[in-house]
Structure 1
Amino acid sequence: MKELNFRRHRRLRSSQAMRSMVKETYLHKEDLIYPIFVMEGENIKNPVSSMPGVFQFSLDTLNAEVDEVVELGIPAVILFGLPAEKDAVGTGAFHDHGIVQEATRQVKERHPELIVIADTCLCEFTDHGHCGVVEGEKILNDASLDVLGRTAVSQAKAGADIIAPSNMMDGFVAAIRAALDEAGFEDVPIMSYAVKYASAYYGPFREAADGAPQFGDRKTYQMDPANRLEAFREADSDIEEGADFLIIKPALSYLDIIRDVRNNYTLPIVAYNVSGEYAMIKAAAQNGWIEEKPVVMETLLGMKRAGADMILTYHAKDVARWLEGK
């Protein structure tokens, strides 16, 4: 046979030890952020039907969930609140004794070392389900900024380590940074939902957080899934306004955006592995169409390889167990 000149790439795949030696991307427990839904009431642990394994917790059932998160070595949680009552301006979002504020105090008192991230949005707290103040069917940008600033300050007062505004109003990072600084919270960082698309993958979350809009949609303030360059404009604005982290949401259909942002900015990047992405894997696994563990691990590894530093994921507890070999 004539001698051929080609590279033998398989040499570096010849054994598990060899593959581990040349492995480029790793997933660690320290990369994970776990979302928790908290609600008013007692003795509540409601399963979210479209998200198997995810629950809504009242404060008296929350401790067991948080204890497990800490035991698994997951370093951070993000709290989403479901109030008992809603109104036009989302009063429960910025009330000093709102559900997110009370949950934050409880978690920080029990586990001071756990990083608590407060979701800073209004949609779960408004009776119209939009992420800002409305007039008729118009979402008012500037009028919403004051409410968002008040919400962030109340969350910081309750002990939140990080403020995570997800509303996508223009100028929201600047308004929140100014409000936090004025209230004496200069050292509280902002994890901005800098690049958030108007995605069909959010459906299960809106059941979990009871935050679906009662009219219209969110396309006038969330980004068009067709747009790539717009992500740079959004990230530029948030960085200029004082963001400390950049969230990209969703993740799986936007790995190109994660890579673009990673290549152009030095701030920590958080990929949000959203509810629809989670639900698809769960449904396929329950039907026996895929094997859940390797698909989840490959999915999250892809987000890390694309450039994410952290991943906000409902799979976090399972992944933490799998990384420990359980």
Structure 2
Amino acid sequence: TCSRLQRQVGEMERFLGDYGLQWVGEPMDQEGSDDQSDSEDGKKDWMTAKKFWKPGDSLAPPEVDFDRLLASLKDLSELVVDGDTQVTPMPGGARLRVLEPIPLKLYRNGLMMFDGPFRPFRDPSTQRCLRDILDGFFPSELQRLYPDGVPFKVSDLRHQVYPENGLDPFPGEGRVVGRQKSHKLLDRMEHAGSRMTAEKFLNRLPKFVIRQGEVIDIRGPIRDTLQNCCPLPAQVQEIVVETPALAAERERSQESPESPAPLLSMLRIKSENGEQAFLLMMRPEDTVGDVRTLLAQARAADATTFEIISTFPPTVYHDDTVTLIHINNCL
């Protein structure tokens, strides 16, 4: 019968095509006129009712004959022989695959096939699926994957109500009416729980570069741009300290830029309250005492009123004669 009808449909489509016509048909979810008949008790069956919203549909799901539904699922599963295989197309050929039972959980207000999502009974697609099962057929939605049928592994949870409002939130990107789109990326960056905060983004950039003897701040202008769009943590004031090494490098880059640059180190030392950071360009042979003297000049303070400390490993540098290269080798 199916083959005869397919040939007939093909002939009709070719006939319409000769006149430049094409068969469109009706929407798949449109109910037929024969689905509007009343049941024997005079009440309209919920499985064949029109898909208009009715007061109460969102409060209580339609009644389902679970005993009949379980019996139909059992009969369908018995039609599939245990250990039966299915031909599965693969690149370059095909292979046989043993049919695994489909997990099906029946709740008081809906069902869940495979690993989800949850499908409430009031959903039209769920109603079509149940109608196929109750009529003794495998669900038409599984026909493409399992043309010869498939067994079911049913979990009877009819006494439990699946919490529909407990579903996982939508994983995509939300929209708020009236919100400016330019703030979208930066708002996500500033949240502490996000993968990339604005502060982390700035920390990935170089703090500064030296070009023609001048120390060029990299993070500052970018921070100012971000600050105009979203609030950022309090900015640390970075102070470039004029050191002999920096002055010599500036002179070398201006007079003989082709000459090789000497080996220098840039120290970044934070103040006690963390609000200031002093940048010192030093030579490897400079000592802790040299650093202390330059810091005292930049802070306009007595060199004996503060200590120089490294956090990893925690060390207090009391010996002013120790060179920076010695400290680097020890670290």
TM-score (norm 2): 0.23
TM-score norm. by structure 1 comes to 0.23
Larger helix share, 1 or 2: 1
Structure with bigger RCO (C-alpha 8 Å, 6+ apart): 1
Q: Considering only CA atoms, is the larger Rg found in Structure 1 or Structure 2?
A: 2
